[in-house]
Structure 1
Amino acid sequence: MVIGSGKFATSGNLRLWTERFGDPTDPAVLLIMGTSAQGIGWPDEMVEALVEGGRQVIRFDHRDTGRSDCVDFATRPYTLADMAADAVAVLDAHEVAAAHVVGASLGGAIGQWLAVHRRERVLTLTAIMTSPMGNNAGPAWARAMAGQAPDPDELPPPAPRFLRHLTRLVSTPVTAREERIEADLETWRVLNGEALPFDEPAARRYVEVSYDRAGDHAAAAHHDLAARRMTGDRLAPLSSITAPTLVVHGTDDPLLPLPHGQAVARQVPDARLLTIPGMGHGFFSPGLPRQIAEIVLGHTSTR
């Protein structure tokens, strides 16, 4: 098992928890997690495989998650661009001029933003289970929640099973630690999809540790608010991306169905789309973390 070295990065007036693994002279892989997820959401098994493959690996807690600082979103709302600036601050803290950027879900959108607006910091881009950063999912979600037919001109909404799960969460608020852990565990079970086996022990370890290391359990919900803010910088065309780009998407993703990944690959010049049969929206299936690591190692060997 590889041992990481933790340190805090400074982004504006925020402190962000970071962790680096491997030889600092090896090519750097920056792992950017998704909505409301802590940096430890990148499985240790995946990190270890990347280090064994000759990469240094950096993962970090977004603002409002884990050991990073929290923000009063009502008075200081932030955007995807601000979260991308946090990622740049993490690279600066580790004196990394440019990295292989690997983003999952919202992290994939942040990776796209960096590849468009801070291209000098991005050697390659791997966008996993994500959607175009300029896609406004709000109308599709609203129609789906209202039981209306989807608009064929929009990217599809989440699967009905996931929407039913969200409805149950909203109608049954949880406050106690064990209640929150069981609710989060069920969310990851639903996100895993129904095709691949669900690694419940790994998921439970993650949600338990995440709960215990979070400074403010409600703050992570701000990510969803930030993701909904469609600022002009997000509408910049993905056709301007020059970094070699790999889009990885599962065929059983209940949150962002496969057309979302296909749309990213279609918009980025020369991007390659790799679909993983049965993969849902997460890494909690036996063998999947190492499989993703091998894919990233192959893509990052191009630069």
Structure 2
Amino acid sequence: MLTGEEKFVRSGHVRLWTERFGRPGDPTVLLVMGTSTPGIGWPDELVEALVTSGRQVIRFDHRDTGRSDSVEFTTHPYALADLAADTAAVLDSHGVPAAHVVGTSLGAAIGQWLAVHQPARVRTLTAMASSPMGNNPGPAWARALAGQPAATDELPPPTARFLHHVMASATTPRTTVRQRMDADVQTWRVLNGDVLPFDEPAARRFVEDCYTRAHDVTAAANHDLAGRRWADDRRASLSRITAATLVLHGSEDPLFPPAHGAALAAQIPAARLEIVPGMGHHPFFSSGLTERIADSIIRHTT
């Protein structure tokens, strides 16, 4: 059975939950989850595969998720740079000067930020299901929701099915915990894409675990607010990244269609783009993808 060392660490006024696996002398893989998702979004099977390959692994709960502190966003607003500072604080508290940073979605944007602004912390970068951190998707979303065609100079908006889900979700009843969990499972279903089977029981167990762990489940919505805060640090050129970079992207990603992954790889010197057939935005509720992702990370971090 996989067991890790749990530890709470400090990042400024925020306390973060972390979990560390493997031997301290082995190279460190730091797993950085996406928007509104705690560290257990990285499944035990992936962690175990990485540890077995001779790596130590750290995963953690972002602020406003899981067992980490919740923040009052109106009085203590934060942005991508603050989430990157949290990530660096996790490494500091575990005595790790540099790690193989593996991020998905928002976590991949955090990885980009660190690779640009704190390159000594990033041995290699794996960016999964992401977009260039300087890309503001708001205008593309607005045009798509208004039924207007995309502009020629912008990356494509989410799929029509995903946008329909967002609109429908806004009117979905969430007066009970069960209704909120059902809505979350449906979101994971849509993010899975339409090609590979969706493991609904696994997704439901994960959602239930998230609700059990969280101090305040509603606080995770602050990540969306943080994502809308833009500053010059997000617009820094990705050509400054010197870490060997792997861009993993699903062919069926409904949130960031494959053009986003291609654009990210094109902006990072010598980055390698790997399109995973059938994969949506979150790969861990489709059979076989966890092993595929683990193999890619192991090859890239060797």
TM-score range, shorter chain: over 0.9
User: Which residue does the alignment assign to 1:31?
Assistant: 31
Q: How is 1:262-277 mapped onto 2 (pairs within 5 angstroms)?
A: 262-277=262-277
Match of 1:157?
A: 157
CA offset digits 1:145-193 (Å, max 9, x no partner): 1111111210011101111111111112403121111111110010000
What's 2:233 paired with? 233
Q: Once the two structures are superposed, what CA deviation does each residue of 1:265-301 show, in whole Å capped at 9, x if it has no partner?
A: 0000000000001100102101111110110000000
- Structure 2 counterpart of 1:295: 296
**1:73 match:** 73
Residue number in structure 2 paired with 1:99: 99
3-state DSSP of counterpart to 2:233: helix
Q: Match for residue 246 of structure 2? A: 246
Unaligned runs of 5+ in 1: none
* Alpha-carbon separation, structure 2, partners of 1:132 and 1:175: 36
1:88 aligns with 2:85: no
Q: Distance in 2 between matches of 1:127 and 1:245?
A: 7
In the alignment, structure 1 residue 221 sits paired with structure 2 residue 236: no
Alignment of 1:111-150 (within 5 A): 111-150=111-150
- 2:17 match: 17
**Corresponding residue for 1:170?**
170
Alpha-carbon distance in structure 2 between the residues aligned to 1:212 and 1:52: 29
In the TM superposition, what whole-angstrom CA distance separates every residue of 1:174-220 from its partner, at most 9, and x where no partner exists?
A: 03121111111110010000111111121111101001111111110
Report the 3-state secondary structure (helix = DSSP H, G, I; strand = E; otherwise coil) of the residue aligned with 2:65: coil
Q: CA deviation at 1:5?
A: 1.1
Tell me the secondary structure at the aligned position of residue 112 of structure 2: helix
CA-CA distance at 1:39 after TM superposition: 0.4
**Secondary structure at 1:16 match in 2:** strand
RMSD between superposed Cα atoms in Å: 0.8
Residue 64 (structure 1) aligned with residue 64 (structure 2): yes
Distance 1:175 1:85 in 2: 35
Question: 2:300 corresponds to which letter in structure 1?
Answer: H
Letter in 2 for 1:154: E
Partner Cα distance (2:173, 2:88) in 1: 36
What amino acid is aligned across from residue 53 of structure 1 in structure 2? Answer: S
Alignment match, 1:183 = 183
Structure 2 runs not aligned, ≥5 long:
none
1:197 equivalent in structure 2: 197
* 2:43 partner amino acid: P
- Distance in 1 (alpha carbons) for counterparts of 2:157 and 2:214: 30
Quote the Cα distance in structure 2 between the aligned partners of 1:211 and 1:163: 25
Quote the Cα distance in structure 1 between the aligned partners of 2:175 and 2:265: 40
Q: How many corresponding residue pairs?
A: 301
- In 1: Cα distance, 2:24 partner to 2:177 partner: 38
Would you say the 8 A contact 2:173–2:179 is kept in 1?
A: no
Looking at structure 2, the residues matched to 144 and 10 of structure 1 have their Cα atoms a distance apart, in angstroms, of 41
Percent of paired sites with the same residue? 65
Moved over 4 A (4+): none
